[in-house]
C-alpha cells in the first residue's frame, strides 16, 4: 500500500463567534469526515492536531500537543487561525498563554499561516470601533513581531467551506501560492477574484435602474444597502449550503463580509452606502 503523507496542522481560535469552524463543519464535498480522516488529495492527508472546538481532548495534554508542534515540527505544519487576535489578557489559549503569544510562537515555526475568516484576515467584527480589546488581524500581529511567513487570507463572515478546503487542496497539490495567485489583500484570486456585482442575477435591474424599496421585492438591492459593487467573492456562482442559495438570492443585500472594510466602513448594513463610505472604500482598495 502506498504511503500517505501527513501534513500537520493546528487551528487557533481567537476573538470570533466560531462561525468559521461551523462553516467548515458544513463542508459538503469533501465532508468534514473526509477532510479529517481521508487523504485531501491523493497521497496527502491533513493531520489536524489541535482544534479547540472539535477535538476530544482537553486541558494540559492538548496544549502540550500545540507546543510540541512548533518545537518538533518546525517548518512542516500549517497554522490556521480563526478570529482576531486581541491584546494580551483578553484572549487565552489554555490557562498559561495569551492568544497573541501563541499566535506569534506558532507562526514563527509554521510552514505557512492561513487566516480563516474576516476577523483573522482583517480584524472583522472584534476589531470594530471602538475596539476595546485592541483586536488585530493575523497580518498585523505578524508584521508587528517581524514575522514574514507566507500568509493566506480567507475572509468571509464566515468563509465558504470551499474556500478553505479548496485552498488546502491547492497547497497540498501544488505547494504554497505565489504572489500572482493572491490579490493585494492576500486572498486567493481563485475564490475572491470576481466582483459580486458582475455576476449577480439582479444586475439587469441595476443597469436599468429598477431598485427594490423593501426586502423581498424584485429589483436590485443597492438602495437597500447592497455592497456587491465593492465586494470580491464567488458567492453568486458557487452558492452556499451545498449549492442551495446565497445572500442576494435570498433577498438580502450583500453585506461585503469578505472585504477589509467590513464591518465599520460598510455600515449601516441595510442602508445605501454614502459618498463618504464609498470614498473610504476607494482609498483602501485596488
- What would the x/- binding string for ligand SF4 be over residues 211 to 240, using CB under 6 A? ---------xxx---x-xx-----------
16 binds ligand FSX per the rule CB under 6 A: yes
222 binds, among ligand SF4, ligand FSX, none (CB under 5 to 8 A by kind): ligand SF4
- The Cβ of residue 230 has, within 10 Å, a number of other Cβ atoms equal to 22
82 binds, among ligand SF4, ligand FSX, none (CB under 5 to 8 A by kind): ligand FSX
128 binds ligand FSX per the rule CB under 6 A: no
Beta strand spans in 95-244 (E): 97-98, 112-116, 151-154
**Please, what sign has the CA dihedral across residues 107, 123, 134, 49?**
negative
DSSP-based helix, strand, coil % in the chain, nearest 5: 40, 20, 45
Q: Which three three-digit cell numbers place residue 265? A: 466602513
H or E segment and range at residue 27: none
82 binds ligand FSX per the rule CB under 6 A: yes
91 counts as catalytic:
no
188 binds, among ligand FSX, ligand SF4, none (CB under 5 to 8 A by kind): none
Helix/strand/coil (H, E, C) string of 195-234? EHHHHCCCHHHHHCCCECCCCCCCCECHHHCCCHHHCECC
Site for ligand FSX in 154-183 (CB under 6 A): 157-158
Closer CB to ligand SF4, residue 163 or residue 206?
A: 206
Give the CB-side neighbour count of residue 28, counting CA atoms within 13 A.
9
Determine the interface stretch with ligand SF4 among 118-126, 152-160, 194-202, 271-279 (rule: CB under 6 A).
194-202
**Footprint of ligand FSX (CB under 6 A):** 16-20, 82-83, 117-119, 124-125, 157-158
**Footprint of ligand SF4 (CB under 6 A):** 196-197, 200, 202-203, 206, 220-222, 226, 228-229, 248, 254
Amino acid at each position: 500500500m502506498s504511503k500517505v503523507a501527513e501534513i500537520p496542522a493546528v487551528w487557533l481560535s481567537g476573538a470570533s463567534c466560531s462561525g468559521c469552524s461551523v462553516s467548515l463543519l458544513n463542508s459538503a464535498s469533501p465532508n468534514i469526515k473526509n477532510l479529517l480522516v481521508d487523504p485531501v488529495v491523493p497521497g496527502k492527508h491533513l493531520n489536524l492536531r489541535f482544534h479547540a472546538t472539535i477535538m476530544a481532548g482537553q486541558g494540559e495534554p492538548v496544549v502540550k500537543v500545540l507546543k510540541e508542534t512548533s518545537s518538533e515540527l518546525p517548518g512542516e505544519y500549517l497554522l490556521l487561525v480563526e478570529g482576531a487576535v486581541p491584546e494580551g489578557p483578553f484572549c487565552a489559549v489554555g490557562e498559561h498563554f495569551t492568544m497573541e503569544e501563541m499566535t506569534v510562537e506558532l507562526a514563527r515555526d509554521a510552514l505557512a499561516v492561513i487566516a480563516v475568516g474576516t476577523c483573522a484576515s482583517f480584524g472583522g467584527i472584534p476589531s470594530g470601533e471602538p475596539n476595546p480589546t485592541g483586536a488585530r488581524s493575523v497580518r498585523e500581529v505578524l508584521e508587528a513581531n517581524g514575522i514574514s511567513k507566507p500568509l493566506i487570507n480567507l475572509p468571509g463572515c464566515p468563509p465558504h467551506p470551499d474556500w478553505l478546503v479548496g485552498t488546502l487542496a491547492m497547497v497540498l497539490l501544488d505547494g504554497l501560492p505565489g504572489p500572482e495567485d493572491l490579490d493585494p489583500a492576500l486572498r486567493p484570486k481563485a475564490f475572491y477574484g470576481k466582483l459580486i456585482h458582475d455576476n449577480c442575477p439582479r444586475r439587469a435591474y441595476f443597469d436599468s435602474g429598477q431598485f427594490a424599496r423593501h426586502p423581498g421585492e424584485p429589483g436590485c438591492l443597492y438602495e437597500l444597502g447592497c455592497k456587491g459593487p465593492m465586494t470580491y467573492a464567488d458567492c453568486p456562482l458557487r452558492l452556499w449550503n451545498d449549492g442551495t442559495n446565497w445572500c442576494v438570492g435570498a433577498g438580502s443585500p450583500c453585506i461585503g463580509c469578505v472585504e477589509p472594510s467590513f464591518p465599520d466602513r460598510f455600515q449601516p448594513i441595510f442602508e445605501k452606502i454614502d459618498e463618504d463610505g464609498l470614498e473610504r472604500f476607494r482609498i483602501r482598495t485596488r
